Structure 1
Amino acid sequence: MKIALINPNIVSQKVDLSGSGIPYMPIGLAYLAGYLREQGHDVNVIDAFGEAYDRVRSDGPYYIQGLTPEEIFNRIPSGIQVICFYAHLTVIHNSLLEIIRFIKKRLPECPAVVLENINKVNSYSLRQVYSDFFKAGADYVVLGYLEKRTQRLLDAILKNGPADKHDGVITRNNHDSFMPPHDFSKAVNLDELPFPAWDLFPLNNYWKLGYAHGPLTTEKYLPVLSSRGCAYNCGFCIIPEVCDRKWKGRSAQNLVDEITFFGRKYGVTEFHFEDVNPTLNKERTKEFCQLLIERNIRITWKLAQGTKLESLDSDTVDLMARAGCNYVSMSPESGSQRVLKLMDKPVNLEHAVNIFSSMKQKGIYTQACFVLGYPGENDADLRETARLVRKLAKTGVDEVGLFIITPMPGSKIYGQFLDKFQKLNQLTFTPKWRKDYKKVSAFRKSMYIQYVLIKMLYHPIRMLGYIRSLLTKRFRTKVEMTIFRKLKVAWLAHSSRMA
C-alpha cells in the first residue's frame, strides 16, 4: 500500500520554558516507517516541522513551527491509500485536529489513522480523547505499540475487513467497544524490529536547529529508544495507562549495533536516549557500557528524558562515564515523602543525593526534576522540596527542572482537573489556567533564584562553564540550550512575519 506518515508541527507556549517547543525527533514514527517499509509498503513521510523548521507563525499564546495544513496537503503524493497522523504531544492537539480537518475535507475517501505516542511523559493517552479525532474526520485510532498493530489495520483496510476485531484499534463506527492493547503482556521482542528509518526524515534540518531535547554538544545527534514502558505507577504520568505498567527493553547488543550502524551511515557520535526508564535493568546497562568500552566505540550519550535513580549505583555510574555517558536527567520529584506517597512514586531521597554526587565526581552533567503543585501538596511539602533543591545545588547538580503539574490525559490525576481547563493544548508545564498558578509560579521562581545563587557560591567555576557553553553553542545542560532555543524561535517568528 502507498502510505503517508505525517509528523505534525512543533507547538510552543510562548511563556513556557519547560516542555513545549522541544524538537523531539519522532522516533516512534521512524520505527513505524522502517517496519512498514520492511513489510513491503510504499512509505512516504511528511515532517511538518522538520521540513520547515525555520518558519514560525503566531497563534495567540502559542508559536507553531513548520508547514501550514495546506502545505502538508500539497506534499501528499498522488495515489495515496492511507494517511497516518502522529499524535506525539498533548500541546499539539489542536494543531493536529486542524491538519486532519483540512486534509479530510479534500480527501474524504482516504482512510485517516491517528497514532499514539507511548514514549513521552508529556504525550497523551488517545483512549481518553479519541472522540476529538473522529469529529475532525479521522477513521481509526491506533494505541500502544504501533508496528504490528498498524500493519494488521492496513491489511484489514486493504481487504475491506473488520478493523475493530483487532486489539488496540479504535474505529469511528465501533468506538464504544474497542479492545485495549494486548501486546504489553506478551513477549514482544524489540530486537526483531528494523532500525528507525531516519533516511525518510529531514535529518539535516534537525541538525541545523542547533538545539534538541537533551543538551546538544556536537553538530549531529540521533535519538535512541532502548526500551518501552515503565513498571512504576506515578500518578502524574501517562505511561502506566498507555503501557499497562510493563517495561520491555532491547538487548545491549542490539543497541550497540544500532549506534554503530548510524554512526557509520551519518557520522554521528552523539546519541540521546529518549525512553522514560532506560536503566531499569541494571545488568543490561552494565553490558551496554562494557560493549562500548570493549569495542572502543567512542561516542557520547545522554539520558535526556530521565531514568529511575534507584536503578543506579556508584559502580554503574563509573562504568557509564567510562563508556561515554556525559549527561543524565533524574527525577526525585519532591522533597516530601508525603507527596511522593500521594504520587505513588517510591524514591530514596538519600540515595538520590549520593547518586548525583557520584555523577559529579565522574564528570557526568546532571539534571534533577521536580513536580510542583501536585494535588494534596501543602506549604510544608514545598518547604521540604526547597530544602532538597538547595542541598542538591550544594552537592553540584548542574540544573534543576521545576515543573508545575499539569494533568495529561491518561494520568491518574487527569479526572481531577477536567473542569479546570478548556483545551488540551493548555496542558503544558506552565498551566496558567490553574487557580493557584501565581502562587506555585512564584515559588518556582524563588527556587530558581536560590539555586543559581547557591551554585555561584559553591561552584563558581562550573557556572562560568555554563556561560561559555551558551556562547559557543556546545551545550552541557538543557538550561543553556533553552535560552538559545527561546531566542532563536522568537527571532524566527520575527523573520517569518517580515518575509
Structure 2
Amino acid sequence: MPVMKCGPLRPIQRVMLIFPPFFDVKHVFDPMVCPPLGIASLAAYIRDRVDVAILDCVAEAPGQREPEGDLYERVGLSWDQILDCIRAFAPDMVGISCLFSNQFACVRVLSEKIKREIDPDMVVVAGGTHPSFLAEQTLLKTAVDYVVLGEGELGLAGILDAHNRGERVEEIDGIAFRGENGAIRVNQRTTWIENLDDLPLPARDLLPMEAYFKAGKPMAYHWRKRRNTPIVSSRGCPFGCPFCSSYLHWGKRFRTRSAENVLAEIAHLKSRYDIQELKWQDDNLTADRKRAMAIFRGMVDRGLTMPWNTPNGIALWTIDDELMGLMKQSGCYQITLAVESGDPDTFAAYVKKPFSLDRAREVARLAKKHGISTVAYFIIGFPGETLEQVQRSMRFGLDLGVDYLVPFVFNPLPGSDLWRTCVESGRITEDYAYEKGNHYHQARLNVAAFDARELELIQRRTYLRNLLRMPLRNPKEFAAWYGRQLFFQPDFLALFAANIMDTGKLLFQKAMGRPAGTSSS
C-alpha cells in the first residue's frame, strides 16, 4: 500500500464524496434507499473550501444487482459506472463513506481501482463507523490514504487545509494515515463540534432527491408519504451500551441543535423539496424533553405538522402521556422502542439506558392509547446468553403487544465493548471478515451458550408469530403497510414468500432432527 510522500501534498480543489454499493445476502432484503446525511453534512461543511459532488451509488441504481459469489450480491452502480462518474467530475480527492460493515469490501475494491485505473496520486479518504473503529485494518487492507474518525467535519476540513495551506497532517485531530516510513498513525478524536447550530444544513441539493422518493425504501422501510427524508437534531449518547458503537463514534456527550434551528430546517425541507414526512434519525430524540416539546409544539404552531416516525429509536424514559399526546398532534405515527432484551438478567447486563422493562410496557401502552404504531427492536444471542434467556426475551417481546417485533441476531459491532470482549475471548479475531452481507438476520458466530443456528429459528418464528397476530391487533396498520408494499414494490411478495419458504425449511429440518442450517438464500 502507498505511504505518504515526502514534499508538498497534492492541492485539492475538487472533492467527490461517495456512498458506495452494499454487499448483501441474495434474496433476503431490498436495501434501504435513503439520503446519506453523513456525507451530505460533510459536503455542506467543506463546500466553501472546494468544489464538491456527491455520488450515491445505491440511489442511482437501486435495482441493479451483481453476483459476488454464490451467496452474495453487490447492490448499486457497477465498478465501471462508478469509475466513469469519478472521471467525469475529475476530483483531486475521493471520500468513501463506510457507514455499514457490508460496505467495507466496496471501500477496498474501489480505492484500489481508483489508484490503479484513474490516478495513482488521487487522494482517497474513508469515513464512517467501520473504518473509524478499524482504522489500522482499513489502511492495511485498502489503498485509502486517510481515515477520518467519528464525527467527520473537522477531520476532513483539516486534511483539506493541510493539502491546500501547507498545514501539518500530523497535527490533525481525529484522523489516521500512513507516515513517511509507512507506519500507521492514529490520532484519536479529542475535539467535537460544540454548537451544532453552527453547522450548515446537509447539502441535499447535491443528492438525487427524487430518486429516494421514487424508490420508497426509507430507513426501516416504514412510511406514510413518499416524499420523506431523514433529519438529525442531535449527536452523542452518554449511556454506553456495550453492544453499541454509536456513543463512541459521535461522542459520549449528548449535543443538540436548538429547537429554532430544527424548525427552520423543517420549514426549508417543506418549501424547497415539498417534504411531507420526516424520519428522525437521532438516537435520543426526546432525551432533552423540554427541547423535544418545543420542536413538536413549534411544528403545530407553524403549520409544519406532517407524518413522522423514529426508525432509530427514542428515549423511552422521557415519554409520558403529555409528550406522547403532543407527538401525535405534530404528526407522529410510529415510534421505535429499542428494548434490546426482555430477559431481566440480559437486560441488566447489556442495556445501560435509563429505563426498565416495566417502562417499555408503559410506553407501548401509551402509544396504543394515542393511536401511534410501534416497532420494537431486540437483540438475541448475546455472548454467553442461554437458550432460556433468549426464549424469555422473545416471550416478553410478544407480550409487549407492539405492531412490529424485530429480533436481530447479535453480531459484534466494531469498536463496541462487546466486540472487544469477543476479540479478547477468541470468539473473533480483529481480522474478522465484515466484508460481505447483512449478518443481523443470520447466525454466523457462536457466541451464545447454545448452538447459534437455533437463533435463526427463534428469530423467524417470533417474527412470524407477531405478524400473524397483527391483523387482529391492529388491522388498519396491517392493511395499510402491507398494502403499500404490494402496490409500490412489485418484488415484495416474491421476496416475502421466499423468506417464508426458507423459514419453513428451517423448521422442517429441526422437526426432522437435522441441524438447522443458515439461510439458503
Into which bin does the TM-score normalised by the smaller protein fall?
0.7 to 0.9
Residues 308-319 of structure 1 aligned to structure 2 (within 5 Å): 308-319=315-326
| Whole-Å separation in 1 of the counterparts to 2:23 and 2:141 | 22
Going from structure 1 to structure 2, the CA distance change for 1:386 and 1:145 (only over 3 Å counts) comes to closer
Query: TM-score scaled by structure 2?
Result: 0.84
| Whole-Å separation in 1 of the counterparts to 2:241 and 2:34 | 23
Helix, strand or coil at the partner of 1:145: coil
Of residues 272, 275, 278, the one that matches 1:268 is 275
Cα displacement (A) at 1:458: 4.3
Percentage of matched positions with identical amino acids: 24
Of residues 282, 287, 290, the one that matches 1:283 is 290
Larger mean CA deviation between 105-114 and 172-181 belongs to: 172-181
Query: TM-score scaled by structure 1?
Result: 0.87
Going from structure 1 to structure 2, the CA distance change for 1:67 and 1:155 (only over 3 Å counts) comes to same
Task: Give the letter for the 2:51 counterpart.
Answer: D
Matched, 1:197 2:203: yes
Spell out, residue by residue over 1:129-152, the C-alpha distance to the aligned partner (whole angstroms, 9 max, x if none).
Answer: 433344321111111221222111
Name the structure 2 match of 1:446.
Answer: 461
Task: Give the letter for the 1:90 counterpart.
Answer: S
Task: Give the letter for the 1:355 counterpart.
Answer: V
Residues 35-434 of structure 1 aligned to structure 2 (within 5 Å): 35-37=45-47, 39-60=48-69, 61-76=71-86, 77=88, 79-106=90-117, 107-116=119-128, 123-124=129-130, 126-173=132-179, 176-184=184-192, 188-214=194-220, 215-346=222-353, 347-393=355-401, 397-415=402-420, 416=422, 417-419=427-429, 421-426=432-437, 428-434=439-445
Name the structure 1 match of 2:33.
Answer: 23
Larger mean CA deviation between 456-465 and 49-58 belongs to: 456-465
Larger mean CA deviation between 480-489 and 211-220 belongs to: 480-489
Spell out, residue by residue over 1:283-322, the C-alpha distance to the aligned partner (whole angstroms, 9 max, x if none).
Answer: 1111101111111223111111112211222211111000
Aligned length: 470
Task: Give the letter for the 1:443 counterpart.
Answer: I
| Whole-Å separation in 1 of the counterparts to 2:491 and 2:301 | 35
Going from structure 1 to structure 2, the CA distance change for 1:340 and 1:439 (only over 3 Å counts) comes to same
Aligned-residue Cα RMSD (Å) equals 2.6
| Whole-Å separation in 2 of the counterparts to 1:440 and 1:261 | 45
| Whole-Å separation in 2 of the counterparts to 1:165 and 1:207 | 42
Task: Give the letter for the 2:164 counterpart.
Answer: L
Cα displacement (A) at 1:461: 5.5
| Whole-Å separation in 2 of the counterparts to 1:488 and 1:443 | 19
Cα displacement (A) at 1:88: 1.6
| Whole-Å separation in 2 of the counterparts to 1:485 and 1:7 | 28
Task: Give the letter for the 1:101 counterpart.
Answer: E
Spell out, residue by residue over 1:411-461, the C-alpha distance to the aligned partner (whole angstroms, 9 max, x if none).
Answer: 111131424954443562023422433211111122123323443454455
Cα displacement (A) at 1:410: 0.8
Question: Contact 1:11–1:21 (CA<8 Å) still a contact in 2?
Answer: no
Going from structure 1 to structure 2, the CA distance change for 1:16 and 1:432 (only over 3 Å counts) comes to farther
Question: Contact 2:228–2:277 (CA<8 Å) still a contact in 1?
Answer: yes
Name the structure 2 match of 1:12.
Answer: 24
Task: Give the letter for the 2:68 counterpart.
Answer: D
| Whole-Å separation in 1 of the counterparts to 2:31 and 2:365 | 31
Cα displacement (A) at 1:344: 4.2
Higher relative contact order (Cα pairs below 8 Å, separated by 6+ residues): 1
Spell out, residue by residue over 1:208-237, the C-alpha distance to the aligned partner (whole angstroms, 9 max, x if none).
Answer: 212211412222111101111211111111
Larger mean CA deviation between 50-59 and 348-357 belongs to: 50-59
Question: Contact 2:136–2:184 (CA<8 Å) still a contact in 1?
Answer: no
Going from structure 1 to structure 2, the CA distance change for 1:244 and 1:482 (only over 3 Å counts) comes to farther
Helix, strand or coil at the partner of 1:305: coil
User: Structure 2: which 5+ residue stretches go unaligned?
Assistant: 1-12, 500-521
Question: Contact 1:55–1:67 (CA<8 Å) still a contact in 2?
Answer: yes
Name the structure 2 match of 1:476.
Answer: none
Question: Contact 2:319–2:363 (CA<8 Å) still a contact in 1?
Answer: yes
| Whole-Å separation in 2 of the counterparts to 1:443 and 1:152 | 48
Helix, strand or coil at the partner of 2:17: strand
| Whole-Å separation in 1 of the counterparts to 2:114 and 2:494 | 31
Question: Contact 1:167–1:181 (CA<8 Å) still a contact in 2?
Answer: yes
| Whole-Å separation in 2 of the counterparts to 1:219 and 1:466 | 13
Cα displacement (A) at 1:384: 2.2
Residues 435-474 of structure 1 aligned to structure 2 (within 5 Å): 435=446, 436-460=451-475, 462-473=477-488
Name the structure 1 match of 2:3.
Answer: none
Cα displacement (A) at 1:481: 11
Question: Contact 2:17–2:52 (CA<8 Å) still a contact in 1?
Answer: yes
Cα displacement (A) at 1:176: 4.4
Cα displacement (A) at 1:471: 3.6
Larger mean CA deviation between 92-101 and 206-215 belongs to: 206-215
Cα displacement (A) at 1:466: 4.2
Question: Contact 2:107–2:126 (CA<8 Å) still a contact in 1?
Answer: no
Cα displacement (A) at 1:486: 4.6
Going from structure 1 to structure 2, the CA distance change for 1:467 and 1:149 (only over 3 Å counts) comes to closer
Runs of 4+ aligned residues of structure 1 deviating over 6 Å after TM superposition are: 487-490
| Whole-Å separation in 2 of the counterparts to 1:291 and 1:154 | 38
Cα displacement (A) at 1:91: 1.0
| Whole-Å separation in 1 of the counterparts to 2:477 and 2:216 | 22
User: Structure 1: which 5+ residue stretches go unaligned?
Assistant: 117-122, 474-479, 491-499
Helix, strand or coil at the partner of 1:23: coil
Matched, 1:2 2:19: no
Question: Contact 2:24–2:438 (CA<8 Å) still a contact in 1?
Answer: no
Cα displacement (A) at 1:488: 13
